[in-house]
Amino acid sequence: METHRVNEETEDGNYVIETLNPVKSEWQYVTTEFSISVAATVISNLQNATGQNCRVLSRRSENMVLAVAP
């Protein structure tokens, strides 16, 4: 499954969702959410669907990692 960047240029949402690209070994932007609970559910579902590692970053806390789905 290929992920595409969505809404990266907007400032919508406080929580950034990213997946780890296993080929390039770098984190790739997926989308943003306003709620940490929704973002955590999204990364859990995304990890289950793709098998890729996912994480949630907080824009308010200088991109601190808040959740990881290994």
Q: Over its length of 70 residues, how does the chain's per-residue pLDDT go in tens digits?
A: 454 555 455 557 899 999 999 899 999 999 999 999 999 999 999 999 999 999 999 988 888 899 898 8
Q: What order do you get walking across the sheet with 26-33 strand by strand?
A: 26-33, 15-21, 54-58, 64-69
pLDDT at residue 10, as a whole number: 53
pLDDT at residue 1, as a whole number: 44
- Domain assignment present for 23: no
Task: Find the domain containing 35 and state its range.
Answer: 1-8+28-53+60-70
The structure tokens listed for 64 are 């601190």
CA distances from 36 to 2, 4, 31, 47 (A): 24, 21, 13, 16
pLDDT at residue 11, as a whole number: 58
- Domain assignment present for 69: yes
**C-alpha to C-alpha distance for 42 and 48, rounded to whole angstroms:** 10
**C-alpha to C-alpha distance for 11 and 47, rounded to whole angstroms:** 24
- Domain assignment present for 37: yes
